[in-house]
Structure 1
C-alpha cells in the first residue's frame, strides 16, 4: 500500500445486535431509498451496512426474483449527493477510494466465478453512481446467530454438519487466493434444508506476495484474530480458521469469545473444553476449537485441510455423512502402507484389492497426498493430539501412564506385519 494512502480499521458491532439492524445508525440516511432503480433492479430495503458499504434487498425486474445487492460505499471515505452519486468526502480520500473501488470490482469478478453450494453466488457486477455494485443471490433462511438464539446450542452432529460445509466453502475461497476475514454467525445463513452458506465478502482480501493490503481493515471483535488489529499481522488461511473457531465456540457455548487483544498477555477466555458440555461434544471437537482459537497464529492450524483432518481424526465416521474433503486424508503414505491397517478392520480381501489398485494405478499415491507439513504445523498437530488424548483419559477416569481410553492408537502397526508404520500426522 502506498504510504500516502491512509489505512483505517473499522470495528463492526458484534452479533448480539438483532439481525437486520444497521451496523451504523446513520446507514438508513446514507442508503439508496426504496424504489431506486439500478439497471434492471429495484431497491426494496436495506439488509445491512458495514465498513465497506451497504447491502440491499432488491427485485430483479427481468427475472421477477429477489436478489441482494452490495454497494461499495465506505462511509468513512465517501458521501452521497441528492442525485445518488457517490463522492469522496475530501480530495485526500480520492486515491484510497479509487483503489478500493478497483479492488472491489476485481474481487467481484473473482467471486462471480465461484460455483460452490456453500458460498453465496455473485450474479453480476457493474459501475454506476460513481461507485460499484455486486449482485448476489438472495439466500432464504436464518443467520446462524438467530438460528442458535432461537434453538439453543446445536448438538455435536449438527455443529459438524455446518462446519464441514463451511470448511469446503472456505477451501474454495483460499484456493482462489482470497481470505474472507469477517466470518461470524451473522455472515452465515442456515437454509431451510439445513445447509449452510457463507455470505458477505466485503472484507475479503486477495493474498499477494508483496504484502499488499486494502485501504481499510474490517473486523468484528470476538471473531477477528489479533493479527487483524494491526498492519503488520501475518495474513493467511489461519486468520479465517481463527474466526471459524470463534463461530464454533459460539455454537457450543452460546457466547462469543473474548476479544483477541485482551487474550495476548493473560488470556481470560475459558477454553471450549471447560466452557462447553464435554459429554455432548467430546474432547476431540472441543480441543479442535481451542486449537483454532490459539492467539498465536503460528500455533493454529495453517490450512483448511489440516483443521478438517483433525476433525476427521477425532471421528472417522464423519466422511460418511459429510461432504468429502478436497484431498484424501492419507498424507504422504504410499498405497502399500495402507494395506495392514485396512486389513485389520475389513479383512485380507481388502488388502488384496488395495494391492491390485496400487499396481494398476501407480498415480494413486499422488492423488492421496496432501502437502508436506512444516515443522510448526507438525508441532501444533502433535500438541492437539496429545491434549485430546489427555482429555479423553480424564473423561474416562484414567490416570496418566495408564491404558488410554482409545486403544490401540491410530495407525498402530501389527508387529507381525513386518512393514513400516503408517506415519501419524503428528
Structure 2
C-alpha cells in the first residue's frame, strides 16, 4: 500500500504519542494514591521543613562556557538500566502517569494543530515531554501556582491537605520509567534499537540564583540539564542565536526549527529538547528519489522506504479512512491513519480526537501489505506559553506565578520554545 499524498500531521501525532507512552489510555483512573504524598512522607516533609536550613542556591556560568557533549548511547543505557528490577508499584505508577499525559497530550495537540491550520508544515507534540515540562514547573512551584498546575495535570487537590498533594518527584520518576520501558523494549524481538534523548535548557538572566534541589530534581525527566546565563533583555534575537548555537554544539542536533526571539522582560527560559530515533524492521530505502504527493496538484521528490510484510490493518468504509500499525518495538508503533481522498485529512484529525485510539486498534487485523512511505525526519517547536493561553490559562506561568522552589528571585518565564522535537 503506497500512501496517498497528504500532510503528515496525523501520522506525526500517532508516532510521538504512542512512542512516548509505555501504557496509556485516555481516561483517568482513581484514586491517585501512587502519585500523592503518603502520611509518612508528609510527616517527614513537615519535619524537614521545620529543621532544614535555607536551600542552597547557585548562579549559572555564562553561556560561553564549554560543557561535555551529549552522549546519546550513554543516555539510552541509563534508561534501560532504570527498568531493571522495577517493582509492581513502579509499573502501576507509570501506567497512571501514562493515562494522564495521554489525555492532556491529545487535548493540547488539538489546540496546537488548530493554531497551525493556516500554516505550512506539521504540528508535532510529544505528550511525555509536554507533561514532563509542566511537572517540572510544578516541582518548582508554591501555592497558588502549585495547586493550579496540579489540577491542570489532572490530579484533584480534594481537601488541599498534604496527602492530597501531588508528589512531583514521583511523577518525574514515573516519566523516567515510561521512557526506559520504551527504549528497553524497542530493541526486543530482533527490532532495531530505539533512542529517546531528553535535554532541558535552563537559561537565566545574569546574577539570578537557582535552587540546587530543584535542578537536581529534574534528573529523572531530563538526565542532561544545561544551565547557562546570558543577557535576555538587550537584544532578544541575539540571545536566541546564542542559545541555538550553544544547544546545537552540545547536542550535535541540527536545529531546523530553532528558538526565535526571546520575549521581553524574561529572566528564565525553560526549554525542553527531545530527540526520538527509530528504525522500521524489514524496510529498505528505494533507489533515488520518489514522488510524494503533498496535495492534489503538487508532488515532491523525497527518499522513500518500502517493506513487505504482515501488518495490522483496518479500513473504515463509513469514514473513508484506513489505518496501518507499523511496529517500532513492543512498546512503540507508527500508526498510519490515511484518508481515502486528499480532502479528508481534516476529517482524519477530527475523528482522531472523537475516538479512543485503543478502541480503533481493536479493529485491526493481520493483512499482507507492501507499504511504501517517505523516510521521516520530522522537526518542530512550539511555545508552551501560547498553548496555555489557548487553554485559557495565560497567567499560569505568567509574571504572578509563584515559583519559589526554583529561585528566591522574582522570575519571569519567557516565551521560548518549551519543546523542540526531532
Q: So what's the TM-score if we normalise by structure 2?
A: 0.24
Q: Which has the higher strand share?
A: 2
